[in-house]
Amino acid sequence: MMGKFATASGLILLLLVGFGLSSVFGPEASAQTSADQSQATPAAPPANGQQPTASNPQSPGAEEEQSVQEGISLRKKEHNYKNWNYNVGAGANVDSGATKSFVRGGGLGGTIGVARNASRYFGLRADAIYEDLPLKQSSIAITGATSATSYLLAGALGPIINIPVSSTFGGYVLFGAGFFHRAGSLNNDTTLPGSACTSFWTWWQGQCFNGSLPLNGHFVNTSQNQFGYDIGGGVTHKMPSGVEIYAEFRLMHGSNNGTTTDVRPITVGVRW
């Protein structure tokens, strides 16, 4: 009797213990444990080993267009000068040297030029120049002529250095080589061929032979070529239209066989 009771009590105790364990380690505990494990376990890296990248809000086409626009703006900012400049001007000249001895100052002249710029500051300029060289009355009297014409055609080529001062004012310096063609003619002269060759005749025709004027009378009309140089500078003022007004002064010297031509043109004009 006692043995059966002990056996029944043992079974009841075993059932109570099993029920308690199921309450502790039941479905809710298992779910909590699985959640904890899932939070503690790090996410597996991508199969290719690369880190995930954030999505780009802009499309590739928009980025390319923006880059092109930035490049154009940068080039415009860097290229702040004109590739070509053109100038036209007129004025008068002040003579010097032997030219001053026989030519009166104030002869009219003009200049047409073009410059190819390598940057905002440096360029190469070429000019075609005309200068009237009116003879003094004392020179005309030497020839016995009633009147005379005398002029200079010149070409100049050399560097130009631009000096920006402000948005509207600037300056420049130029220099280079020059080619000079001086010509003239006497009207109704009474000088006899073979006459003594004075300093005027030497300057007028370039040279004399054996100290006398040519017997063929070719001294009435003269034409001679000379090589030399010119140096000068100017100031500029930019108008609202973009055209610049300039004032320029030059020293020009040419020579050949000891005969010289010296002029100092003062020119006012426009360049664009």
Q: Is the pLDDT assigned to residue 1 strictly greater than 90?
A: no
The predicted structure's pLDDT at residue 74? 52
Residue 85's pLDDT band (cuts 50, 70, 90)? very high
Averaged pLDDT for residues 60-84: 68
Residue 64's pLDDT band (cuts 50, 70, 90)? low
What domains lie within the chain, and their CATH numbers? 86-185+221-271 (2.40.160.20)
Residues across the chain: 272
27 alpha-carbon distance from chain centroid: 85
d(CA 134, CA 240): 39
Q: Could you tell me which of 103, 106, 123, 105 has the C-alpha nearest to residue 115?
A: 123
CA atoms within 13 Å, Cβ hemisphere of 219 = 30
The predicted structure's pLDDT at residue 68? 61
The predicted structure's pLDDT at residue 70? 64
- pTM metric for this prediction: 0.70
Helix (H, G, I), strand (E, B) or coil at 168: coil
Contact assessment for residue 161 and residue 122, using Cβ atoms and an 8 Å cutoff: yes
**Beta-bridge mates of residue 253:** 229, 262
Tokens of 186: 């006497």
Q: Is the pLDDT assigned to residue 2 strictly greater than 70?
A: no
Backbone phi and psi for residue 72, each to the nearest 5 degrees, phi listed first: -65, -45
Which regions of the chain does DSSP assign to beta strands (E)? 84-95, 108-117, 122-132, 147-164, 169-187, 221-238, 244-256, 259-271
Neighbours of 255 (CB within 10 A): 16
pLDDT in tens, 150-193: 999 999 999 999 999 999 999 999 999 999 999 999 999 899 99
Q: Is the pLDDT assigned to residue 35 strictly greater than 70?
A: no
Mean pLDDT over each residue of the chain, to the nearest integer: 83
Alpha carbon separation from 52 to 56, 60, 107 (Å, rounded): 12, 19, 84
